[in-house]
Structure 1
Amino acid sequence: MKILSKLKETPGHNWTEEWLKNIEDGNTFPNIADLLSSFRNELAELKGELFLEKDHGALIEKLSDLIRERQWKQIVCSDECIFQNLSEKGIPLTTPNDDLTEIEVGISGCESLIALTGSVLVSSRSGAGRKMNVFPPVHVVIARRSQLVETIGEGFKLIENHYPEIPSQITLISGPSRTADIEKTLVMGAHGPKELIVFIDLES
């Protein structure tokens, strides 16, 4: 409504009062009853992979199994708790301070999960820094169920409430990186990871 009101004041536009009065303020999309179900469906449409684990211990076990199954060797982890848990299981890890150009997998936390779009909201303050979302071919995101929100606006509100100052970089990740700029041919991993894998701890 505010945008339409400003357009009305722009010279050369013939907006009528009656038309503006017929437009009501409100949500563009219907409210989501089940945030988890919506996020799962939307992420699947974006070709992302999701693992739902009953608690933190089960999450670590599944993540460890996945690392061994896929035979990942070069792994960087920005989450201190996950780093310690995986190291205790004998999985070699590096930190984001190291050179990431040869890294296969990046493991990080996030600021929130957006149920409406199946997106992951990360920032430069959430431990991942600026490089984790770009260099590793596979990005593994560790999240809590409590981080599920309905809209992008709610995700930004969590960031505002969490940090005294807004992070210098906020990134919205909607599935693996892709582009179809060249001859409308879809290319995965053009500007970032080819795979996005999200783990959710359902207990927290």
Structure 2
Amino acid sequence: MGSRENILARIRKAQGRAGGEPTEAEFEMIRTAMREHEIGPLPGIALPPDQLAQFRSECARQGSTYTEVAGYDDVPREVVAYLDRNALDKRVVLWAELANLDWAGAGVTIDNRTAQGDDRVGVTGCFCAIAETGTVLLLSSPSQPKATALLPETHVCIVRRSRLVDTMEEAFAMLRNERGEPPRATFFVSGPSRTADIEQTIVIGAHGPYRVHVILVP
């Protein structure tokens, strides 16, 4: 028995539950509780009517840069423009779903694999984006490795306009409706990584990218 299985077995034994794995009845009880769970109190402040303006404003407040393009075919050219503005090499590691864009025509070398420690720029999509906080929600999977968003010092995130919602509660509802059970890892990105753990001094890029660039496509 591996360490994970051993720990879970001990927890179940302490709870007086037999067997090493949850039963289908237990899984269904959890699913039912998630479906019927009421949304908690929401902030009393109404969001501005312009959802896109709210998202753009919050991106700026969180430290993300932001741009819009006319379509997916324009993404490589916008990535090149961003790399040029920041004096970065034209080499990126990206999710497989983006590999068929014309990166070579834009002058970008791509690595279609999971990011490694020496990669400098990661390009990903996202599950959805949240206007209220300027946040993007990413879900991990073998074809959408979280390392590509977290390891490189620069994260470029492609957001579809149809996947922009107002609040985090709406993002969770979309996740439940479309995916049912969440994947192994879900993570919210609200601007560059930062911490003030040491002497209350803000340090950018402490636990992840210190640049986040959002590209919105129709």
With normalisation by structure 1, the TM-score equals 0.78
Q: Do 2:132 and 2:167's aligned partners in 1 also have CA atoms closer than 8 Å?
A: yes
Gaps of 5+ in 1: 1-24
The two structures, once aligned, show a CA RMSD in angstroms of 2.1
Partner of 1:75: 92
**Which structure 2 residues correspond to residues 120-131 of structure 1 after superposition, within 5 A?**
120-125=136-141, 127-131=143-147
In 1, the alpha carbon distance for the partners of 2:140 and 2:190 equals 17
Partner of 1:62, secondary structure, is helix
Alignment counterpart, residue 198 of structure 2, candidates 182, 188, 202? 182
Residues 76 and 106, structure 2, Cα contact 8 Å, conserved in 1: no
In structure 2, the residue corresponding to 1:36 is in which secondary structure? Answer: helix
Q: Is the 8 A contact 1:32 1:150 kept in 2?
A: no
CA contact 2:117–2:152 (8 Å) conserved in 1: yes
Which of residues 29, 45, 51 in structure 1 aligns to 2:67?
51
Q: In the alignment, is the contact (CA less than 8 A) between 1:60 and 1:82 conserved in 2?
A: no
Matching residue of 2:4: none
The question of whether the paired residues in 2 share the 8 Å contact of 1:64 and 1:86 is answered with no
Please identify, of 144-153 and 60-69, the stretch whose mean Cα deviation from structure 2 is larger: 60-69
- Cα pair distance change 1:79/1:159, threshold 3 Å: farther
- Is residue 89 from structure 1 mapped to residue 101 from structure 2 by the alignment? no
8 Å Cα contact 1:111/1:126 also seen in 2:
no
State the SS of the aligned residue for 1:133: helix
Provide, for residues 124-181 of structure 1, a one-character-per-residue CA deviation record: whole Å limited to 9, x for no partner. 0394322123210000001111111001111122222222532111101111000011
Residue equivalent to 1:133: 149
Do residues 200 (structure 1) and 178 (structure 2) align? no
* Consecutive unaligned residues in structure 2, runs of 5 or more: 1-39
Instruction: Give the superposition deviation at 1:59.
Output: 3.1
Alignment of 1:1-204 (within 5 A): 27-28=42-43, 29-69=45-85, 70-97=87-114, 100-125=116-141, 127-201=143-217, 203=218
Alpha-carbon distance change, 68 to 158 in structure 1, aligned in 2, over 3 angstroms: same
Q: Secondary structure at the match of 2:159?
A: strand
Whole-Å separation in 2 of the counterparts to 1:73 and 1:61: 11
CA drift at 1:83: 4.8
Query: Which structure shows the bigger proportion of residues in helix conformation?
Result: 2
- SS of the counterpart of 2:81? helix
Cα 1:123/1:144, change in 2 over 3 Å: same
State the AA in 2 paired with 1:132: T
User: Aligned residues, how many?
Assistant: 177
Superimposed CA distance per residue, residues 99-138 of structure 1 (whole angstroms, 9 cap, x where no aligned partner): 5100010000001111001111111039432212321000
Equivalent pairs: percent with the same residue? 31
Contact map agreement 1:79 1:109 (CA 8 A) in 2: no
